[in-house]
Amino acid sequence: MTPNWITTTTERARSRRPVTWLTLIGVLLLPVVIGGILVAALYNPTERLDSLTAAVVNEDEPVTIDGQMVPLGRQLTAGLVEGSDDVDSNLTWTISNADDAAAGLADGTYAAVITIPENFSAAATSTQPGETPEQATIKVTTPPDSLIVDDAITSQVASVAASSMGTQLSQVYLENVFLGFTTLGDQLGTAADGATQLADGATQAADGAAQLPAGITQLADGNTQLSSGATQLADGAAQLSGGATSLADGAGQVAGGATSLQSGLTTIAGKTRDAAGGAQQLADGVNAGATQLEQTGLVPDELSGAAGASAQAAAGVLAIAQNCAASGAAQAYCDTLLTAAQGVDAAASGTSAGLTQFDTEATAQIAGQFREIGTNVSTLSGGLTQLAGGIDQSADGAGRLATGATGIQDGAGQLATGATGIQDGANGLASGATQLADGATQAASGATTLADGVAQLADGTATLATGLHTAADSLPSYTDQQATDLATVVADPVDADGAGSSLFGASAIPLLATLALWFGGLGTFIALQAVSRRALTSRKPSALLALRSYAPAAGIGALQGLLVAGVVQIAASYSWSEWWVFAGVSIVAGIAFAAVNQALVAVFGGAGRWISALVGVLTVATGIVSTVPGVLSSVAALMPTSAAYQGMVAALTSAGGLGAAFAGLVIWTLVSLAVTMLVVARRRTTSARALLKATPITA
């Protein structure tokens, strides 16, 4: 077979001019051009987002929190313009103002304008204590004539930026919340410990309060006894007051008698001193008379008088001596005085007798007697002097007795007054003790109530302590790092792992390749004849005639599949193992699409090309988004493009169904060829009238 066989055996559609290699090359390159344009324009557009220019208008007023300025509008602007640590900014951003941004939207300079309002920082930080929570918003404005995907891109970028800012703010807020849990748990633990101590103290207080009623009852009983004792004390004080008054009266009488006694003793002491002086004079006279008697032998008159006087004195002294004890003098002194008095009396008696017998006895004896009298009288004089001193002491004692009795009288009067005060105080004490006893009785009742209340307080405090411990144990505790890590996760709890940045995803290439190959098959039978014009006159079998028209289209379809796979590899750089499978599916799809388009044109003529175009549109409509109506999805699933699309997806991804796709494409190819053969067979029978009306140009 020579190369010219293709051009000579292939018929041009709607023209009898021969098919040239230029026609075949044009048909061959049609899907390549279509696929190349679609892939270049639509595949992975996010890598070329820098061609989009957007403006940022920051009208935000920073706020101050805890003395630190928080310019969230500036931070968001910087994030949009410069990107983040992980992702660079992919749009071309311009920091502008409202007027420039509006003008830029109008003349097409800006594809979008993002406006950060004045209250952005205030609203974003309104979660602070004491603030009214408010959601921060940003405004995205696009021109009314923007392209279909431009709005989605700018809106997505703004949403991602706002979401990232919100995540950061939420992370800070949640970090503070988690650290607050730790602080709250610590404080609740402290409060629980305090409540436990309070419960212990309340329990002890309850025990003490339970003992308090008994103690207060004892106090009431003691106060009752105190009242009774105070009453008895008042009675005794009254008696003491009466006795003290009587004592004062008696002491007054004693003081008066002692004063009289002192006066009498003083008088007696004077008389005694006079008697002592007289006795001394008498003694001196007796001694002088005795001396004279011894010298002259005559009894002087002094001795005769002295003898009488001695007798009188002796009688007086004897009376004094007998009353000596009553004067208060010492008993030994009184005995001596009595002895002397008795001696003087005897001597006086003897002297008187001696004087009467003077003539018969010797003068010397008389003189001796008189000397003895003088001596005794001198002794008597000394005793009288001592007696006078003793009487003086007695008088002094009587004076002191009078003074003491007066003091006793005064003290007894004061004692009576004090006893009266004691009586009054004891009466008041008795009254107060009675009132205290009544109050203590009431206090005992109140103490019982208090004991019950304190016991309830102890139970309630113990319950509180238990609850606080439970709360403290239930609250989580975090370190600063743990709080930061947890806040990071909670602020952005879900991450879409594996989600690509391509707007069309992994199915973009299969969809575009399927669409290119389908329109390539349609283009083939726009240029080539689907059913040979020689079918009516040819002697060859109908099947051979159908295959003879199909063979060039199948070859072109196979080459189209291979070329489209090559363009895809240049754009997407798949691994060779994936690409070989993809290329195989593309070649089989090109062959199958050629058979289907041949059958459509063979059956429906020009309308078949229109139907083929609808199939391509349906493929695009159902391959972009899954939200198409179910009827369209069901119809699209029955199309040959569905099998090719599923096979290419299975070749480039982990999706299954590669074998089913191959089987579907083969079935569509065989069915289409069978339909074409039937059409060829039908074209080989006609009427004479039809022959006369036949035109050089057929379908």
For the ranges 82-91, 417-426, 532-541, 648-657, the one whose mean pLDDT is highest = 648-657
- Indicate the pLDDT class of residue 63, thresholds 50, 70 and 90: confident
Q: Kindly report, residue by residue over 347-366, the tens digit of the pLDDT.
A: 666 665 555 554 445 566 66
* Residues in contact with 365: Cβ distance below 8 Å, sequence separation at least 6, in sequence order: 354
- Indicate the pLDDT class of residue 155, thresholds 50, 70 and 90: low
| 507-522 per-residue burial string, b: 16 or more CB within 10 A, e: under 16 | bbbbbbbbbbbbbbbb
* Residue tagged 């959601």 (tokens): 135
Give the residue, 543 or 645, on which the prediction is more confident. Answer: 645
pLDDT mean over 96-121: 85
Give the residue, 136 or 59, on which the prediction is more confident. Answer: 59
Beta-sheet pairing, 92-96 with 53-58: parallel
Model confidence pTM above 0.95: no
Q: In this model, does residue 699 exceed pLDDT 50?
A: no
Closest to 60 in 3D by CA, of 138, 174, 7: 138
Measured CA to CA, the distance from residue 151 to residue 503 in angstroms comes to: 13
Instruction: Indicate the SS3 state at residue 236.
Output: helix
- Indicate the pLDDT class of residue 588, thresholds 50, 70 and 90: very high
For the ranges 23-27, 121-125, 252-256, 553-557, the one whose mean pLDDT is highest = 553-557
Backbone angles phi, psi at 399, to 5 degrees: -65, -45
pLDDT of residue 5: 46
Q: In this model, does residue 491 exceed pLDDT 60?
A: no
Lowest mean pLDDT among 44-58, 298-312, 564-578, 654-668: 298-312
Number of other CB atoms surrounding residue 112 within 10 Å: 26
pLDDT of residue 212: 72
| 619-652 per-residue burial string, b: 16 or more CB within 10 A, e: under 16 | bbebbeeeeeeeeeeeebeebbbbbbbbbbbbbb
Sheet holding 139-141, edge to edge: 92-96, 53-58, 112-116, 139-141
For the ranges 32-36, 61-65, 214-218, 430-434, the one whose mean pLDDT is highest = 61-65
Burial class (CB in 10 A: 0-12, 13-18, 19+), 340: buried
Mean pLDDT, the chain, integer: 74
Query: Helix-strand-coil percent breakdown of the chain, rounded to 5?
Result: 80, 5, 20
Residue spans of beta strands (DSSP E) within 87-152: 92-96, 112-116, 139-141
Q: Kindly report, residue by residue over 399-436, the tens digit of the pLDDT.
A: 887 788 788 778 878 877 887 887 788 788 778 878 87
Measured CA to CA, the distance from residue 24 to residue 6 in angstroms comes to: 9
pLDDT of residue 335: 74
Give the residue, 389 or 5, on which the prediction is more confident. Answer: 389
Closest to 165 in 3D by CA, of 50, 58, 49: 58
pLDDT of residue 498: 39
Look up residue 201 and give its two tokens: 């103290």
Give the residue, 92 or 688, on which the prediction is more confident. Answer: 92
pLDDT of residue 167: 66
Rg of the Cα trace of the chain? 77
Instruction: Indicate the SS3 state at residue 66.
Output: coil
Q: Kindly report, residue by residue over 274-329, the tens digit of the pLDDT.
A: 767 777 776 787 677 667 666 665 556 555 666 666 666 667 666 766 676 666 66
pLDDT of residue 359: 46
- Percent of the chain clearing pLDDT 70 (strictly above): 64
* Residues in contact with 455: Cβ distance below 8 Å, sequence separation at least 6, in sequence order: 206, 209, 210
Question: CA 29 from chain center: how many Å?
Answer: 76
Q: In this model, does residue 86 exceed pLDDT 60?
A: no
Q: Kindly report, residue by residue over 472-485, the tens digit of the pLDDT.
A: 676 676 677 766 76
pLDDT of residue 216: 72
Specify whether the CB–CB gap between 527 and 13 falls below 8 A: yes
DSSP readout, 461-529?
HHHHHHHHHHHHHHS----HHHHHHHHHHHHS----TT--S-SSGGGHHHHHHHHHHHHHHHHHHHHB-
